[in-house]
Chains A and B, each alone.
Chain A
Amino acid sequence: MLVLIAALPAVAQDKYIIVASTTSTEQSGLFGHILPVFQKKTGIRVRVVALGTGQALDLARRGDADVVFVHARSAEEKFLAEGHGVRRFDVMYNDFVLIGPKSDPARISGGKDILEELKKIKAASAPFVSRGDKSGTHIAELDLWKAAGIDIATEKGPWYRDTGQGMGPALNTAAAMNAYILSDRGTWISFKNRGELAIAVEGDKRLFNQYGVMLVNSAKHPNVRKELGQAFVDWLISPEGQNTIGEYKIGGDQLFFPNAK
C-alpha cells in the first residue's frame, strides 16, 4: 500500500530543502519575502516546517530537516554539542515586546526596565499568558523571570496562565482575557485580533532575540541535502541575504535586523 502511495506524483521533481523553523518566524511573513529571492537566485525551493523551537530542533535531531533556523541560543548550542549540527551562524535579531491591556492593571505602560515591570506584574497578580511550549519566546520569557529574581515555577499563582500554544493562539487568549503577554514584535505587528491590547514595554536590550542558522550534520544524518542546505546557510549570511532580510517591513517598520558576522 505504501508503495502505491509513494508512487503518487511528487509535488515537483525539483531541488528543495526542508528548513525547520519557528511558528513566530513564519507568521511574521519573513519567509514569504526572502525565500522567493533565494529561489530565483539558486532555483532551490525552501520548504519551511514551522514548529516551536524545541520541536524544530527535535525534528532535526531525527534527521527530518536539512537546516534549522531558530532563536534560542542555549538550545542551539546544546544541539551543536550533541553533534547534530555542523556550525552555528548568527543571522539576525528581532525583539520582544511586552503586550498588555490598555487598562494596565499592573501600572507598567511605557516602562523601560523589563525586569522591574515583570516584578510589578507579579506583585499586582495581573493576568499573564505564557506560551508554555518550549518555544524560543517561552524560553526567553522564563529567562527574564529568572533574571528578575523570580522562580516562576514555584511562585506563580492563578494569574499566570500556561497555555501550551503558539504565538498567535496565545495572543488570542491574552486578548480574550485582557492579560499581559510577551510576544515577538513580528507576530504582534501582523496580529489582527488585538481587542484591548497594546504594547506596554519595549526597547529594553534584554528583549532582543537572536536568530541562528545551522546545517544539519550529514555525518549523523546521511540523507541531509548537504549542498543545497549549505547554499541556503551561505545565502542567509551573505550580504545579499542580509540585505533582503533588512528590507522586510510591515507597515513601514523593519522587523528583523541582520547581524551576521
Chain B
Amino acid sequence: MSEALSTALALLIGLDSKLVEIVLLSLRVSLSAVAIAALLGLPLGAAIAVGRFPGRQTVIVLLNALMGLPPVVVGLLVYLLLSRAGPLGALGILFTPSAMVAAQTILILPIIAALSRQAIEDAWREYEEQLRSLGAGRMNAALTLLWDTRFSLLTTILAGFGRAAAEVGAVMIVGGNIDGVTRVMTTTIALETSKGDLPLALGLGMILIAIVIAVNAAAYLTKELAQRRYG
C-alpha cells in the first residue's frame, strides 16, 4: 500500500502526461455540463420560484426528487437515446465526450434548478411586497432575484460541478471508458482498481478529492465574502 502511495505521489509531482490528459478531460466534460445546466437550470428555478401555475407544487416535488437521480440510471437512459438503435442515434455522439457532457448535464440540471428555486423562493418571500410596490412584474422580479441571490446561486453551481466531477456511472456507460478518448478520472480509478493496479488510481483519487475540497472551500468563501460585503 505504501509502495502504491509513493508511486502515486511520484506520478503527481512528475505530472505524468497520461494523468494530465485524464484530468483535463474530466474538467472539460464536467465544466461543460455545469455551464449548460446552469444556463438552463437557473432561469427554470427562477421561473418556478416566482410563478403561479396549476401543478406548481407537483413540479417542485418532482424537481427535488430528481436531484437524487442515480448516475448509472441516467447513463443507461442516455445510452438508449444515443445508441444507433435509439431515436438520436443519427447524431453519432455515443462514446464521445459530447455524450458524457449530455449525460452529466441531465444529471445535474435538477440539482441546479431545485436549489436555485429554493434560494430564489426564499428571497421572493422577503422581496415580494417591495418589488410589487415598485411595479415589478414576475419576469422582472425573477431576473432581479437571479442577480440578487447570485452568491447562493454560485454555491449551487459549485454543488452541481462537484456532483458531476465525482460521478462514474453515467460517463462509464455513455463514454465507454475508451483509452485516450473518453477515459476520465472516475472511470480510470474504477478501471485501475479492478485491475488491482493502485498507483494511478490512488493518484487520481487524491486529485479528485483535492478538487472536491477546493470546490467546497470556494463555495464557503464566496458566501462569507458576500455576506460581509453586501449583507
Contacts and interface: CB of A to CB of B under 8 A. Distances in A.
A190 interface: yes
Interface string A16-45: 001000010001000110000000000000
Interface residues of B, number: 32
Contacts of B181: 11, 47
Interface in B114-159: none
A11 B177 contact: no
A54 to B, nearest CB: 15
Interface residues of A, number: 36
Given A8-B98, A168-B194, A62 B36 contact: no
B200 to A, nearest CB: 12
Interface string B86-115: 101101111111100110010000000000
Contacts of A194: 196
Contacts of A4: 36
Contacts of B198: 192-193
B85 interface: yes
Contacts of A187: 195
Nearest to A12: B181
A50 interface: yes
A170 to B, nearest CB: 9
B83 A62 contact: yes
Interface string A41-58: 000000111100000000
Contacts of A166: 194
A164 interface: no
A123 interface: no
B197 interface: yes
A57 to B, nearest CB: 14
B214 to A, nearest CB: 25
A211 B231 CA distance: 68
B64 interface: no
A103 interface: no
A223 B105 CA distance: 27
A81 interface: no
A169 B93 CA distance: 29
A61 B191 CA distance: 25
A5 interface: yes
A10 interface: yes
A182 to B, nearest CB: 17
B36 A63 contact: no
Interface of B: 32, 36, 40, 83-86, 88-89, 91-98, 101-102, 105, 176-179, 181, 191, 193-198
